[in-house]
Amino acid sequence: MFKKIASAVSSISGTPRNGTPEPPVLAGHHGPGRVKQYAQLAKTLEDYGVPVATEDCAACDSPCADGAANGAGGAGTVAEIGNAWDGKTYEQYVHDKYGDFDEFPAAIDTDWESDLAGSGGPPVGRVVVISTGKSDWPRDHVDAQDSLSYQVNKVLSKQKGGGKNKKDGNPADPSTYVLNSAFPPPSTALSGPIAPLPSLYSSCLISQAEDPEDETVLVFPDWKAVLEVENSLEGAQGLWDGALSGSLGRAGQRLQNEGEGCNRRRSYVLPYRAIVLLCSHKRRDKRCSIAAPLLRSALVTCLTKHGIHVDETGSSLAVPELGALEDLEGTEAEREAEVGRRISNIEGVHGGEGGEVGIFNINHLGGHRYAGVMLILFPSGAYLSYGRVTPQEIPRVVEDTILKGKIVPGLLRSAAGVVRPGATAKENGFLAW
C-alpha cells in the first residue's frame, strides 16, 4: 500500500530551469507537487465562493507553500501529506477505513499532464437521463433508432436555445468553468424561461414503467423521475411539453386530458440524496468501460460504510411514496413550494450519513483521457463534473463531496450551481440552498 506513494516520491526530480525548480508532475493525486498545485486551486476556488475540501492543504499543519520556512522539510514531505488524514498517509487512511481498492489497469492510461480544471464546461440547462437498461450504445447514443433518446434528440433539435458550453476554461479563473445554474433553488418558481437546451444522456437505468414500451426519464436539476414516457416521437414531444420546456419549473405541466395516451406519464421527486453518473461508453472509449465498474464498486463500499443505501437499477423509483407532480393543485408558486418541500424531506439531503444514492452508467461525457470521469448531481441544484477519479479517490468523493457538499479540487473539471460564499467552513457546503 506504500508502493504508490514511495514511487511517487522517488520520481520527484525538481528539474531546474532558470534556476527555479519546477514542481514535479506526478501520475497520482498525492505526490508533493500535486498537493501544492491543489492547494493553490483550492484557494482560487474558495476565493470564488466554492466550498472546497481542504484536506490537501489547509487541514495540514505544515502547508506545503510555507513548509520550508517552518522547518517541516519543504514542499511536500510524506509526513506533511499525512497530517491531513488522522496523522496517516492518505493510502493508509483509506486502507484502515475501507480496505484495499483495486487499482486501475495500465490500459486506462490517464492524462496526468493537461489541466483538469476547466476541461469542458458544465451544462447550465437541464440534464436529461433516459433509461435504456444498457451500459454501452452506438458511438453516438442518439443513433439507436429504437431508443427514446433518438426521439428526444429529434424533438430537441427542433428547439431554439443554447447548448452545452464545450469551451475549455482557464484553471486560474473559476468563472470560466464554475457557472451559475439557470435555475432557481428548490421551492422557487422560475422568474423567466430557461434558454439553454437540455443535455441528453442514455443510461443503464432500468425502466420502472408498467408498460414495457415506456421508458423512465430522470430530469435535473428538477430532481424528478418521469415514469411511463412512451418510446415514440409523440412520447418525446409530450416529455418536452410536460417536463423539459424552458418555460416549466420543477413541478412541470399540470395533468392533461385525464392521463390518456402519451399523457399517461407521471413525475415524482427522486428519493436520492445524490446521483452519480459514470461514463461506461465502450464503443466511444474503452477506458471508461474499464473504469466505470471499478469506480462503482469502490463507491458502493464507501457509501455503505456511511449507512447510505445504493440504487444501481432504478428500482427505488418503482413505488413512489407521494403523488405525481402532475396532480399538484394550486398556483405555480404553490406547486413549486410543494416540490421544494418534498426535496427538503429527502433523507440525507443536507449532508451526513444515511439516505440513498443512485449510481448509473451513462454514455460519453467527453474528456475520456481523464478517465475515470463522472457527473455528480445534488437536490440543491449542484452539478459536478469530476475527472481523474481513481478507486483510491472514491473515499474523498464520498466523504467530502457527497457527505459534506465540498469539491475535491484535484478532481474538478467543471461545475454549476455550487457557489456558496462563506460556506466552506459550514458542514454542508453546496448541499445547502
Residues that bind Zn ion (CB under 5 A): 279, 288, 368
- Minimum distance between the CB of residue 226 and Zn ion, rounded to whole angstroms? 25
Please report how close the Cβ of residue 177 comes to Zn ion at its closest, in angstroms: 19
- Cβ closer to Zn ion: 42 or 279? 279
d(CA 37, CA 402): 23
CA gap 253, 49 in Å, rounded: 34
Shortest Å, Cβ 139 to Zn ion: 12
**For Zn ion, the closer CB: 126 or 364:** 364
Q: Are strands 178-179 and 412-416 parallel, antiparallel or unpaired?
A: parallel
Q: How far is the CB of 236 from Zn ion (least distance, A)?
A: 25
**Minimum separation from the CB atom of position 281 to Zn ion (A):** 5
Q: Would you give the distance in Å from CA 36 to the centre of its chain?
A: 24
Distance CA 121, CA 385 (A): 9
Query: ∠285-275-319 over CA atoms, to 5°?
Result: 120
In the complex, what is the shortest distance from the CB of residue 116 to Zn ion, in angstroms, rounded to a whole number?
15
CB of 342 closer than 8 Å to CB of 269? yes
Closer CB to Zn ion, 273 or 368, in the complex? 368
Q: Which is nearer to Zn ion, 222 or 393 (CB)?
A: 393
Residues 6+ apart with CB under 8 A from 45: 52, 174, 178, 407, 409, 412
305 burial type by CB count under 10 A (0-12 exposed, 13-18 middle, 19+ buried) = middle
Cell of 410: 484535484
Residue whose C-alpha cell reads 443554447 in the numeric block: 162
Give CA torsion, residues 311, 317, 320, 321, to 10 deg.
10
Choose between 269 and 279: whose C-beta lies nearer to Zn ion: 279
Nearest CB to Zn ion, comparing residues 277 and 328: 277
Other C-beta atoms lying within 10 Å of the C-beta of residue 168: 18
Nearest approach in angstroms of CB 413 to Zn ion is: 12
Q: Give the residue with the Cβ less far from Zn ion, 266 or 296.
A: 296
Q: CA-to-CA distance for 107 and 287, rounded, in angstroms?
A: 7
Compare residues 280 and 401 and give the one whose CB is closer to Zn ion: 280
Question: Shortest gap between Cβ of 126 and Zn ion (angstroms)?
Answer: 21
Q: Are strands 214-220 and 224-230 parallel, antiparallel or unpaired?
A: antiparallel
For residue 264, CA distances in Å to 61, 215, 217, 338 come to 59, 12, 14, 22
DSSP structure string for 164-216: ---S---TT-GGGTEE--SSPPTTPPPSS---SPPEEEEESPPP--SSTTEEE
Task: State the nearest-atom distance from the C-beta of 80 to Zn ion, in Å.
Answer: 34
Nearer to Zn ion, 126 or 368 (CB): 368
Beta bridge partners of 374: 278, 386
